[in-house]
Structure 1
Amino acid sequence: MIETCDHEAPVVLDRREGPYGEVVLRGHGGLLQIIANGTFLMDTSDGRSERLLVDAALGALDGRAAPSVLIGGLGVGFSLTHAAADPRWGRIVVVEREEAIIGWHRAGPLSALSERALGDPRTEILHTDLVGYLRRTTDTYDALCLDIDNGPDWTVDESNDGLYSPAGLASCHDRLTPGGVLAVWSARPSTAFEERVRNSGFHMVRTEEIVVARGVPDVVHLAIRAA
């Protein structure tokens, strides 16, 4: 873990305007930070939550061989690199709508973190919007690991609200194989979201806490599609 030097001012390394607004990559005391439309998304300080998101999904599966996983959101790459480091996963697909973030990983400051994972033959990066992809694709996965917002009740922008709606959860349900796992990261628990998940045909709905260095725990919402 890289320690933050609070006395150092953040430095903008790249700033892009895209179809979803502004996305910025900053350096701050040895950390790299991603900011979208003025909202802090994530940095390279820890990655514990992102890794546990992937582990929780794998742990909730039924021991099937080489399960496939769809990771919603590339971010700084913690979820991808953790999945690619585990030989138990089969196909690893990452959906990321921000072209800038993909570029920072392929040929930019974030490549040092994700170069090996991007070169893994199991890995595929899709430059597209997650909500639309889930609605139109016919591919199915054994696990969906979704981390595109600060949580179901705290989205980066309004266009993401549809992911957590009954229609969005129905798309998630359809994209999972029987017995597949839905795992959604959140900065705080949401009982309303859990209820919507139950009403969308999932069972074994539960919330696991992730202890963080400071503040209240993060959580992973987990649910299973009936076999």
Structure 2
Amino acid sequence: MNRPPVREDAAPVTLDRREGPYGEVALRRRGEHLEIIANGCFLMDTADGRSERLLVQAALDALAAPRPSVLIGGLGVGFSLAHAVAEPRWGRIAVAEREAAVIDWHRTGPLGAFSAGALDDPRVSVLHTDLVAHLAGGGEAYDALCLDIDNGPDWTVDETNDGLYGPAGLAAAHRRLNPGGVLAVWSARPSAAFEQALRRAGFAEVHTLEVAVARGVPDAVHLARRA
């Protein structure tokens, strides 16, 4: 989620910085909010989690099963996972996060305040893995995939994430959904081209929900169903 921070009055303070297999990742505090920075690029912050919560809620609202399973990718600042755990209707909840530092910041660091202990919920399993590789590798299916990777389909900072939104990535997501399952994809802006890509990949009931932001184009949640 690479939406530049709105606040410009407070200088950021770096709380932790680590090198990993995908480059440098840092946790910063700017005023009252926390930011995750990947390879020098602003990735996400704790200022506004409405669209991240909508990502999970819209998927749940579209499902009729009493205890549906969900895979959330990735963990980020924890808004999506915390919202899923707060909803007793969800059954099995998996969250895929490729950055060990991000997982640590939730388990023992300041991001734990935003995930609100969700990692300790007995329904939750944390998968330390790259989401693109995890989906392509096959395995168990889910009733919902709630994907919040990079900036969404039209604007990725890390080119390794591009494949998630192309034909191969969408085919992998389709295979990992149970029949009737729902795919929800966060995006930094609505994308008519991505809607068409979802339809070409065999998804049905494709539509987009928008969340207005303080400046610029709205955030978007793209929704589709495996028929």
* Count of aligned residue pairs for this structure pair: 222
> Could you tell me which residue of structure 1 aligns to residue 39 of structure 2?
37
Q: TM-score under structure 2 normalisation?
A: 0.94
User: 5+ unaligned residues in a row in structure 1: which ranges?
Assistant: none
TM-score (norm 1): 0.94
Note the alpha carbon deviations across 1:169-194, whole angstroms, 9 max, x for none: 00000000000000000011112211
- Measured after TM superposition, the shift of residue 208 of structure 1 is 1.0
Q: Distance in 1 between matches of 2:38 and 2:197?
A: 27
Is the 8 Å Cα contact of residues 59 and 144 (structure 2) preserved in structure 1?
Answer: yes
CA separation of 1:211/1:5 partners in 2, compared to 1, >3 Å: closer, same or farther? closer
Alpha-carbon RMSD across the aligned residues, in angstroms, is: 1.2
**Equivalence for 1:183:** 184
How many Å apart are 1:5 and its aligned residue? 6.3
**Structure 2 residue aligned with 1:27:** 29
Correspondence for 1:139: 140
1:78 is the counterpart of 2:79: yes
Contact 1:97 1:128 in 2 (8 A): yes
Runs of 5+ unmatched residues, structure 2: 1-5
Structure 1 match to 2:59: 57
Please give the per-residue CA displacement for 1:35-56, whole angstroms capped at 9, x wherever unaligned. Answer: 1112211111121110011111
What amino acid does structure 2 have at the position aligned with 1:108? Answer: G
Matches for 1:102-113 after TM superposition, within 5 Å: 102-113=103-114
Pairwise CA distance, 1:8: 2.3
Q: Deviation per CA, 1:68-105, whole angstroms, max 9, x where unpaired? A: 01001100000000000000111110000001100100
Runs (4+) off by over 6 Å: none
Query: Identical aligned pairs, as a percentage?
Result: 71
Distance across 2 between alignment mates of 1:115 and 1:44: 13
Secondary structure, in 3 states, of the residue corresponding to 1:17? strand
What is the one-letter code of the residue matched to 1:58?
Answer: L
Q: CA deviation at 1:115?
A: 4.3
